[in-house]
Amino acid sequence: MSKPKVPRLSNQILDEASTWFVEFSAGDLDQTGREEFIRWLRTSPEHVRAYLQISAHWDESGVLEASAPRDVDELIAMARNDTNVVPLGSRQATRDTAPADADVEPSAVPSRGWPRRAIAAAAGALAIGLLAGTWYYTNRETYATGIGEQRTLTLDDGSVVELNARSRIRVVYDTHRRDIELLQGQALFRVAKDHARPFLVRAGETSVGALGTQFDVYRRDSGATTVTVVEGSVAVSTRATAGVALEPVEPSIPEREPRPVNGASVLVAGEQIKVLGSAATKVAHPNVLAATAWTQKQIVFQSTPLVEVVEEFNRYNRRQLVITDPGIRAIRISGVFSSTDMNSLLNGLRDLGAFAFTEKDDRIEIAHQ
Amino acid sequence: MRNAAADLPDLVQEVFLRLLRLDDHEAIRNSQAYLYTVASHVLHQHALRRAAVTENADVTDIASDLEHTYTDPATLLELEELYERIGQGLKESAPRAYATLILHRCEGMPLQEISERLGVSYSMTKKYLAQAVRYLERQLEESREAR
């Protein structure tokens, strides 16, 4: 049978539906907004179709990732270069190509004459939307946390990811791989064993391959990445070794010699490695408890430079700390603080008596006393 | 996909009618999720009814047909190419809408952060995203008609 011809959505309905969709996507709707949304949906089946169709295509659009530019900064620079800053509504944008009757609203009450093929096509879109949504949701999805928010995710294979504040990961699972990209921040991975599918975490230039282990990856805004192994072992490589296939390492294989990373480096429980660019160094006496203290809502500093302390603080507070005096960036701080009560850290810094604080509306500036 | 569309003629109509019937309070509390739940029930019940009246039809027939579309590597590649082409068009005609779409959909960046990085207001960022959504929809309509 031939495919039913799908009628185009009218410009007005498309405008309205996409605006509603963005409001939900942004999470900005209050009670009144949701009431309006339901009222809008109940106005016409065409509204229902438009909204479900947009949802379906939004789920589908996850495939854009395959062709999306890798470099976020470049993408932003490209966008900022564009001088045509005001987005045109579809009314203007598609005036030339839109069908002549596009602006005619369907009657508010569905009539018996609502074209059968329109309903059929919409049903197809609806069915595709539901199933595509499910598939992409479980197989290719991005998870994010905001300031002061932590999440625990259980993935399809039973692996558990604890996501620290201000962090983002992208998960791509299929029949032969479990790929995770740490886009920003920090996550602790408890990997379920699956010999057929290696578990691979990428953080910028750094890749970590694992089998049935527990490890923490922290990708700092500064570009440095720290990998800490809590249980079992992992193999760490940098971009420089990307051509080398990264084989997950069985925890039973002993690997005691600490060595500089040149090719994949094996890390066992209790070890930690810091990667900056293509240079990687094993940390001499790592404190694994400190590295994973955030999962217990604690932050531990051990001779930590102030600049890193500030980065940490800023993950949990909307009001950001800003160092205005470069001379104090390297001052080292030690202590255990609660991540749910960040005033404890601020008070701790105050008690040191070494710093001067200037409180502004959106930030706290910190300088030498 | 087989004749799924022809087999499911009244789905949207039924979703719509249920939306008319349902309790305001419940609908409003979680309106978007409610729409998806209603739609999914309608689809599921339809599949059950279809299985009851059709010979040799499995309940999951429609589901597996559609799922096949999204797990078959060739189809997936085709889909990626379609979106790549549409993405390029958006990138050229509206770079800011494209950047907002990619950062939000693929990188998971919150809209607030995108507005800061682009140096525009939050409400402008939402307009960029809505623009991208509209563009995708129109282009997908066109490619569907061309087929």
DSSP A94-127: TTTTS-TTTTPPPPSSPPTTS-HHHHHHHHHHHH
Q: Is A64 in contact with B128 (Cβ distance < 8 A)? A: no
Dihedral sign for Cα atoms in the order A300, A305, A310, A315: negative
Q: Is B123 at the interface with chain A, CB within 8 A?
A: no
Highest mean pLDDT, choosing among A52-56, B15-19, B81-85, B140-144: B81-85
Ramachandran region, residue A212 (left: φ > 0; alpha: ψ -120 to 50; beta: rest): left
Q: Which of A28-32, A207-211, B3-7, B141-145 has the lowest mean pLDDT?
A: B3-7
Average pLDDT over residues A291-312: 85
List phi, psi (to 5°) of A25.
-60, -35
Residues facing A366 on adjacent strands: A323, A357
* Selection from A182, A189, A226 nearest residue A210 by Cα: A189
List of chain A residues whose C-beta atoms are within 8 Å of the C-beta of residue B12:
45, 48-49, 52, 119, 122-123, 126
Q: Is the pTM of this model over 0.90?
A: no
Average pLDDT over residues B57-83: 61
Q: Is A62 at the interface with chain B, CB within 8 A?
A: yes
pLDDT reading at B40 higher than 80:
no
Binning pLDDT at 50, 70 and 90, where does residue A161 land?
very high
pLDDT reading at A312 higher than 60:
yes
Q: What does the alpha-carbon distance between residue A149 and residue A170 come to, in Å, rounded to a whole number?
A: 17
User: For B99, which of A26, A62, A75 is closest by C-beta distance?
Assistant: A75
Instruction: Dig out the tokens for A253 from the structure.
Output: 């294989």
User: For B13, which of A45, A68, A80 is closest by C-beta distance?
Assistant: A45
List of chain B residues whose C-beta atoms are within 8 Å of the C-beta of residue A6:
141, 144-145
User: Residue type for A111, please?
Assistant: S
Proportion of chain A above pLDDT 70, given as a percent? 76
| A174 Cβ contact partners less than 8 Å away, ≥ 6 residues apart | A139
Report pLDDT for B90. Answer: 95
Q: Is A360 at the interface with chain B, CB within 8 A?
A: no
| A181 Cβ contact partners less than 8 Å away, ≥ 6 residues apart | A169, A170, A172, A201, A202, A203
Q: Is B108 in contact with A78 (Cβ distance < 8 A)? A: no
User: For A26, which of B96, B126, B140 is closest by C-beta distance?
Assistant: B126
Q: Is B48 at the interface with chain A, CB within 8 A?
A: no
Report pLDDT for B89. Answer: 94
Q: To the nearest whole number, what is the mean pLDDT of chain A?
A: 76
pLDDT reading at A132 higher than 50:
no
Q: Is B126 in contact with A122 (Cβ distance < 8 A)? A: no
Q: Is A58 in contact with B105 (Cβ distance < 8 A)? A: yes
Report pLDDT for A6. Answer: 59
Give the DSSP H/E element, type plus range, for residue A289: helix A288-292
Q: Is B59 at the interface with chain A, CB within 8 A?
A: no
Residues listed for chain B: 147
List of chain B residues whose C-beta atoms are within 8 Å of the C-beta of residue A82:
94-96
List phi, psi (to 5°) of A279.
-95, 130
Q: Parallel, antiparallel, or unpaired for β A233-238 and A265-268?
A: antiparallel
Average pLDDT over residues A321-337: 87
Q: Is B44 at the interface with chain A, CB within 8 A?
A: no
List of chain A residues whose C-beta atoms are within 8 Å of the C-beta of residue B146:
none
List of chain B residues whose C-beta atoms are within 8 Å of the C-beta of residue A35:
24, 28
Average pLDDT over residues A296-316: 84
Residue A148 C-alpha, separation from nearest chain B C-alpha, in angstroms: 15
Q: To the nearest whole number, what is the mean pLDDT of chain B?
A: 75
pLDDT reading at A264 higher than 60:
yes
Residues listed for chain A: 369
Q: Is B29 at the interface with chain A, CB within 8 A?
A: yes
User: For B11, which of A38, A110, A123 is closest by C-beta distance?
Assistant: A123
Report pLDDT for B56. Answer: 41
Report pLDDT for A108. Answer: 32
Report pLDDT for A259. Answer: 40
* Selection from B80, B136, B77, B73 nearest residue B104 by Cα: B136
Q: Is B13 in contact with A119 (Cβ distance < 8 A)? A: yes
Q: Parallel, antiparallel, or unpaired for β A177-190 and A160-163?
A: antiparallel
User: For B3, which of A1, A82, A136 is closest by C-beta distance?
Assistant: A1
pLDDT, tens only, B109-138? 889 999 999 999 999 999 999 999 999 999
pLDDT, tens only, A57-108? 887 788 888 888 878 888 999 999 887 666 755 444 433 333 333 333 333 3
Full strand arrangement of the beta sheet holding A355-359: A320-323, A363-368, A355-359
Q: Which of A63-67, A105-109, A159-163, B78-82 has the lowest mean pLDDT?
A: A105-109
pLDDT reading at A43 higher than 80:
yes
Q: Is A183 in contact with B108 (Cβ distance < 8 A)? A: yes
List of chain A residues whose C-beta atoms are within 8 Å of the C-beta of residue B64:
none
Q: What does the alpha-carbon distance between residue B5 and residue A124 come to, in Å, rounded to a whole number?
A: 5
